[in-house]
Amino acid sequence: MELVNVWFILIAVLWIGYFVLDGFDLGVGVLLPFIGRDDLRRRVMINTIGPVWDGNEVWLLVAGGATFAAFPLWYATMFSGFYLAFFVLLLALIMRGVAFEYRSKQDSQSWRNRWDIAIFVGSVLPGFLFGVAFGNVVGGAPIEPLPGTDPANAANFNYSGNFFDLLNPFSITLGLMTLLVFTTHGAIFLALKTSGEVRDSARSMIYKVGPIAAVVAVAALLWAQAFSGRVAVTLPMVLAAAVAWLGAIWLVRLGRDGWAFVLSSATILLAVASLFVGLFPNVMISSIDTAFNLTVDNASSAQYTLTVMTWVAVIMTPIVMIYQGWTYWVFRKRISTSMIPNQPSTGRSGDRLAATK
């Protein structure tokens, strides 16, 4: 297999890993005002993701860095064309991260309420905008050569639309899909990681949001088949994702929270994988002319760069995955309101202390 194809697969794996792991982080943040009816419950919810959320976001950084190094023309076209949307997305992620660290700095309910709003907004926006971005990559964006340049040279391809061109019906539908799926995925994670009233509220939220997420996801992924180059492969993946999702909701009713989380993770894996499989060998589709599509061949780096990257990935990836697996093992126990002190500890990571007990 050629290295350009290997790196396309690796970037797909990185995005799948990010959506599975940070997806439940974002879902917990979205659910904060709905399940966290008081400060004690909100602190329980934040404790569930406190030890792992920043590690989960490493997958996003690596996915972006790998795209930049392996497919620089893809990175340049996408990040310049989607600049404003990505700026809002990154600002929301930064605001969310700051909120996790600062909400315990003062023993003031109004202070914590403001940071809780930041967590909510900083979770909703990325949950929606990631889907919008993927919708424009998969469904097509206005890409064409710069005027007066060689139309056969992909280095001359440029995004010619504006911010509002990104908000097309397909991308909005895909954005709603990611937001709702992440929200339900987060609720399943809360059911797995908590006990008592927080777990009960999370299970109730799964039954309310899960079916809606299923309907929107099926609509978005079936719509994506219109852009897929491998419907014979991607359509069964979509159907398998739907079955896994319904299985996850059913297992929640049976109290099998661990297996429910496995199936919701499998749903995200199959859904995102179907988008990448349908996209290949393109990395970005032009809605103006298919001759202007960016592909794994015309958007990739030199062979030497890909070779060096491959050796680095082979050495470093197992180390990162072992460390992250160890982190999840250490913080594997359930959390309840009885484990949270009456007053939050001030200082960095004050809300994380109960997760270690």
Task: Write out pLDDT tens, residues 63-104.
Answer: 999 999 999 999 999 888 888 889 999 999 999 999 998 988
Mean pLDDT is highest, among 271-275, 341-345, 352-356, for 271-275
pLDDT for position 343: 56
What distance in Å separates the CA atoms of residue 74 and residue 296, rounded to the nearest whole number? 9
Number of CB atoms found within 10 A of residue 233's CB: 14
% of the chain surpassing 90 pLDDT:
64
Residue 340 belongs to a domain: no
Spell 115-130 as b/e; 16+ CB within 10 A means b: bbebbbbbbbbbbbbb
What distance in Å separates the CA atoms of residue 65 and residue 342, rounded to the nearest whole number? 42
Q: State the pTM of this model.
A: 0.90
pLDDT for position 218: 94
pLDDT for position 119: 95
Q: Number of folded domains in the chain?
A: 1
Check whether 349 has a pLDDT greater than 80: no
Residue 93 belongs to a domain: yes
Residue 230 belongs to a domain: yes
Residue range of the domain that includes 203: 3-335
Residues β-bridged to residue 295: 282
Residues β-bridged to residue 144: 158
Mean pLDDT, the chain, rounded, equals 89
What distance in Å separates the CA atoms of residue 115 and residue 50, rounded to the nearest whole number? 15
Q: Which of 22-26, 30-34, 227-231 has the lowest mean pLDDT?
A: 227-231
The string of pLDDT tens digits covering residues 236-273 is 999 999 999 999 999 999 999 999 999 999 999 999 99
Q: Are 106 and 346 in contact (CB under 8 A)?
A: yes
Residue 351 belongs to a domain: no
User: Hunting for tokens 């059911």 — which residue is that?
Assistant: 191
- Please count the CA atoms within 13 angstroms of the CA of 111 that sit on its side-chain side: 11
The string of pLDDT tens digits covering residues 171-214 is 999 999 999 999 999 999 999 999 889 999 999 999 999 999 99
How confident is residue 162, by pLDDT bands cut at 50, 70 and 90? confident
What distance in Å separates the CA atoms of residue 230 and residue 245, rounded to the nearest whole number? 23
Residue 348 belongs to a domain: no
Pull the structure tokens for residue 120.
Answer: 């909510």
Number of residues written out for the chain: 357
Number of CB atoms found within 10 A of residue 188's CB: 29
How confident is residue 355, by pLDDT bands cut at 50, 70 and 90? very low
Residues β-bridged to residue 286: 141
Backbone angles phi, psi at 245, to 5 degrees: -65, -45
Residue 347 belongs to a domain: no
Residue 342 belongs to a domain: no
Residue 123 belongs to a domain: yes
